[in-house]
A = this chain, B = another copy of it.
Amino acid sequence: MKKTSLSDIAKALGVSKTLVSLVLNNRGDEVGINKDTQKKVIKMARKMNYKPNMVARGLRLGASKTIGLIIPNIGNLFYARIARVIEDEAGKYGYRVMSASSDENPEKEVGLIKVLMERQIDGLILASSLKDRTEIINLRKEKVPFVLIDRYFPQMKTNYVIVDNYHASYNVVTHLINQGFRKIGLLKITPSYLTPIRSRFEGYRDALHDHGIRFDKRLVKEIPFGGISNAMEQALPELLFKPVSADALFFLNNDLTVTGLGIINKLGLRIPQDVAIISFDDLKLFQLLYPPVTAVAQPWQEMAKEAVRVLMQEIKSPGTIKEKSQVILPARLEVRKSCSKF
């Protein structure tokens, strides 16, 4: 038993497809179709359990009512929450979302973009791990409406919604310095060309500089996305013991913090007496750790909402808006006990 189509209904009723289509799209009155005919059509549609084929509709209309979402990893709570909000917001406009994880892998990301484009997405929200912007320039050439989130390309005029990483990081480091810490280790996720990572690094560097503390590159470690555990097992002792002897650690994402806390625990070090801790990206459980972990709470909800808003605007009036929407959201430092001296 095949699915019923418009013409099945039309045939059953001895009318035309057009008529059925019109009625079922609530354009019956507008066009002036007999009320009774309308009733008949609707009744028959229900009786035959008709479900419109949105794919066919999309093909005809040239719009799939689907947006793509590419993020590093939907299995990371930061992005999972964003995905959730995007799903809800896009849903309000009748859009569904197809999401895909890039694993911070540029080649994979390029592949995903291609796949999603082939599936005729009407727009794309992208937390890109791309190194250079050529791929983004391509995107623009293809005329897909898109919005960058979390990461952007400073040299390019695109839509984006990001967090003010520089100041958030600057504030973190300033706070640590004010608390009396001087040897602040920084744990970056790679690839380190990602704009949030770079901005956070610059905030770190400038805050040190502005407080007269010399930058020591031994305090900065890069941790590859694909092998966090191993890299951290090696990096943390190097940072925490002689000769480097960091007295504070600043983790640049939630995975790093969680893994880092585990290792610090195993090493038998006390927080904050032996080492202070601050995390970029906040998790609920951070409040319940002993001691509670200070963290930068990112405005993920606003970011997702704004991204959808901007994308919908771009989809509605493609190209007409000359100035791109560029949104920079502040992050909040949640000071807890993991970074207080004494």
Measured CB to CB, the residues of A under 8 A from B are 1, 3, 51-56, 58-59, 64, 66, 73-77, 80-81, 83-85, 87-88, 96-101, 114-120, 142-143, 258, 261-262, 265, 283-290
Given contacts A77-B77, A285-B258, contact A84 B55 (CB under 8 A): no
For A84, give the chain B residue with the smallest CB separation: B75
CB neighbours (8 Å) of A261 from chain B are 285, 288
Q: Which among B74, B81, B118, B289 is the interface contact of A52 at CB below 8 angstroms?
A: B118
Given contacts A75-B81, A87-B99, contact A54 B119 (CB under 8 A): yes
Given contacts A74-B80, A98-B97, contact A54 B118 (CB under 8 A): yes
Given contacts A54-B119, A74-B80, contact A87 B100 (CB under 8 A): yes
For A117, give the chain B residue with the smallest CB separation: B51
CB-based contact A55/B120 at 8 Å: yes
A106 to B171, CA, bound (A): 45
Shortest Cβ distance from residue A264 to the other chain B in the assembled complex, whole angstroms = 9
CB-based contact B53/A56 at 8 Å: no
CB neighbours (8 Å) of A100 from chain B are 87, 96
Shortest Cβ distance from residue A88 to the other chain B in the assembled complex, whole angstroms = 8
CB neighbours (8 Å) of A290 from chain B are 289-290
CB-based contact B53/A118 at 8 Å: yes
CB neighbours (8 Å) of A51 from chain B are 114, 117-118
CB neighbours (8 Å) of A99 from chain B are 83, 87, 97, 99
A96 to B101, CA, bound (A): 11
A337 to B185, CA, bound (A): 31
Which residue among A52, A58, A96 has the maximum number of chain B CB atoms within 10 Å of its CB?
A96
Given contacts A80-B74, A84-B101, A98-B97, contact A54 B289 (CB under 8 A): no
Task: Enumerate 23 A-B pairs (CB-CB under 8 Å) in ascending A order.
Answer: A3-B142, A51-B117, A53-B59, A54-B118, A54-B119, A54-B120, A55-B64, A59-B59, A66-B119, A74-B84, A75-B81, A77-B80, A80-B80, A96-B100, A96-B119, A97-B98, A97-B99, A98-B98, A258-B284, A258-B285, A262-B288, A285-B286, A285-B289
Q: Which among B59, B81, B97, B114 is the interface contact of A55 at CB below 8 angstroms?
A: B59
A275 to B118, CA, bound (A): 55
A56 to B54, CA, bound (A): 12
For A292, give the chain B residue with the smallest CB separation: B265
Given contacts A115-B96, A258-B285, A262-B288, contact A53 B120 (CB under 8 A): yes
CB neighbours (8 Å) of A285 from chain B are 258, 261, 283, 285-286, 289
Shortest Cβ distance from residue A287 to the other chain B in the assembled complex, whole angstroms = 7
CB-based contact A262/B287 at 8 Å: yes
A142 to B119, CA, bound (A): 24
Shortest Cβ distance from residue A110 to the other chain B in the assembled complex, whole angstroms = 13
Given contacts A262-B287, A288-B261, contact A74 B64 (CB under 8 A): no
CB neighbours (8 Å) of A81 from chain B are 75
CB-based contact B75/A80 at 8 Å: yes
CB neighbours (8 Å) of A88 from chain B are 101
Shortest Cβ distance from residue A290 to the other chain B in the assembled complex, whole angstroms = 4
Known A55-B64, A56-B59, A74-B84; further 14 A-B contacts with Cβ < 8 A: A55-B55, A55-B59, A74-B74, A75-B81, A77-B80, A84-B101, A87-B99, A96-B116, A97-B98, A97-B99, A99-B99, A258-B285, A261-B288, A285-B289
